[in-house]
């Protein structure tokens, strides 16, 4: 990512100690770039920021309606959750409704990020399960589509009907042929695209007509579910959840591994795609908050916004030693 530009600064006392470089694109509903930092044509894996794209076939196929999925389940299908009880229990119930269980998932077991759930497992001597995986909601969606299509159980295989549908939707909404894929942390394929392509896709979600065709309706339902239930998309203490709450549930935001971030802004029909080059989460969180402020949808004075725009850096004695802030390019 040689064209990356300074996006976030780390200060210690009067010294600029570190800089997070990155690239970002803001796109409107015509596919045109409104703002760009770095190279809009940089090809990047969006990782979990693409979950709403992977969920499109679940709705377009009719599977979501056939199985009576709620908006809460659609939010979980787009989630990178904490594995807390509010995530674990509904995913377990979802699997049960399908006549399936934890062993039918292909995401792998992951220790829950939620401390209360981790403490419960240790106290009760219970194993970490696949349902605790942050992607278990997405995989429950994959299994629902698998059942609807009458396809085989290995739904993460590239040539499986589920993944073929995901790739087709991804390429059609980004309006780009993907140059390839990587295997994500949850074992599903993750398709690459340019930052412009991803921002264009997010603008499509932002402008989607709930009364339009199957794809428009699906995109509208998905971003609405995410914004309505931010606690399911991530969890308590998480940036996605905090920022969606700070914006009064009007904007959907979603993180992805290695410091990717997207935003879907319906009232302005804008989409945002962001990547911090060094893969550092703190940089991506600060940068996406700054872009949302710049676009006029996040109040910079909101306490939840301040957590990411200007967090203090303290040492082990609690002494303030510095701070993080957006770089000049994002502040202008």
pLDDT tens profile 167-196: 999 999 999 999 999 999 999 999 999 999
pLDDT of residue 213: 97
**pLDDT greater than 90 at residue 166:** yes
Q: What's the pTM?
A: 0.97
Over residues 99-111, the mean pLDDT reads: 98
Supply the pLDDT for residue 8.
98
* Boundaries of domain holding 269: 5-331
Residue 68 has pLDDT above 80, yes or no: yes
Report the pLDDT value the prediction gives residue 331, as an integer from 0 to 100: 86
| Confidence band for 229, pLDDT divided at 50, 70 and 90 | very high
The predicted structure's pLDDT at residue 233: 98
Mean pLDDT of 221-237: 98
Q: How many domains does the chain have?
A: 1
pLDDT digits (tens, 9 = 90+) for 129-138: 999 999 999 9
pLDDT tens for each residue of 200-224: 999 999 999 999 999 999 999 999 9
Does pLDDT of 1 surpass 70?
Answer: no
3-state SS of the chain?
A: CCCCEEEEEEEECCEEEEEEEEEEEEEECCCCEEEEECCCCCEECCHHHHHHHHCHHHHHCCHHHHCCCCHHHHHHHCCCCCCCHHHHHHHHHHHHHCCCCHHHCCCCCCCCCCHHHHHHHHHHCCCCCHHHCCCHHHHHHHHHHHHHHCCCCCCCCCCCHHHHHHHHHHHHHHCCCCCCEEECCCCCEEECEEHHHHHHHHHHHHHCCCCCCHHHHHHHHHHHHHHHCHHHHCCCCCHHHHHHHHCCCCCEEEEECCCEEEEEEHHHCEEEEEEECCCCHHHHHHHHHHHHHHCCCCCCCCHHHHHHHCCEEECCCCCEEEEEEECHHHHC
Share of the chain above pLDDT 90, in %: 99
CATH of the domain at 31: 3.40.710
* Across 226-243, average pLDDT: 98
pLDDT value of residue 142 = 98
Check residues 288 and 332 and name the one with the higher pLDDT.
Answer: 288
Share the mean pLDDT of the chain: 97
């Amino acid at each position: 990512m040689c064209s990356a530009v300074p996006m976030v600064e780390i200060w210690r006392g009067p010294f600029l100690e570190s800089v997070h470089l990155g690239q970002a694109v803001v796109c409107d509903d015509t596919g045109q770039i409104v703002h760009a930092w770095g190279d809009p044509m940089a090809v990047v894996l969006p990782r979990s920021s693409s979950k709403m794209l992977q969920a499109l076939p679940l709705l377009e196929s009719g599977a979501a309606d056939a199985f009576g999925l709620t908006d809460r389940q659609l939010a979980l299908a787009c989630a990178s959750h904490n594995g807390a009880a509010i995530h674990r229990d509904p995913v377990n119930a979802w699997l049960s409704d399908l006549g399936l269980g934890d062993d039918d998932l292909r995401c792998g077991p992951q220790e829950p990020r939620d401390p209360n759930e981790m403490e419960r497992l240790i106290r009760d001597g219970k194993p970490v399960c696949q349902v605790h995986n942050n992607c278990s909601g997405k995989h429950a969606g994959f299994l629902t589509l698998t059942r609807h299509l009458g396809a085989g159980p290995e739904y993460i295989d590239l040539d499986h009907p589920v993944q073929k549908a995901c790739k087709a939707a991804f390429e059609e909404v980004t309006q780009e042929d993907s140059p390839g894929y990587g295997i994500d942390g949850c074992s599903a394929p993750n398709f690459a695209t340019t930052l412009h392509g991803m921002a264009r896709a997010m603008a499509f979600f932002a402008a989607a007509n709930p009364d339009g065709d199957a794809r428009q309706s699906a995109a509208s339902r998905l971003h609405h579910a995410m914004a309505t239930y931010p606690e399911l998309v991530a969890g308590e203490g998480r940036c996605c959840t905090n920022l969606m709450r700070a914006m009064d549930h009007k904007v959907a935001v979603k993180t992805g591994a290695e410091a990717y971030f997207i935003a879907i802004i319906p009232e302005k029909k804008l989409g945002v795609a962001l990547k911090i080059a060094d893969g550092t989460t703190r940089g991506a969180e600060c940068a996406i908050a700054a872009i949302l402020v710049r676009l006029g949808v996040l109040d910079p004075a909101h306490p939840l916004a301040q957590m990411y725009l200007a967090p203090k850096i303290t040492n082990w004695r609690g002494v303030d030693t510095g701070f993080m802030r957006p770089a000049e390019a994002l502040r202008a």
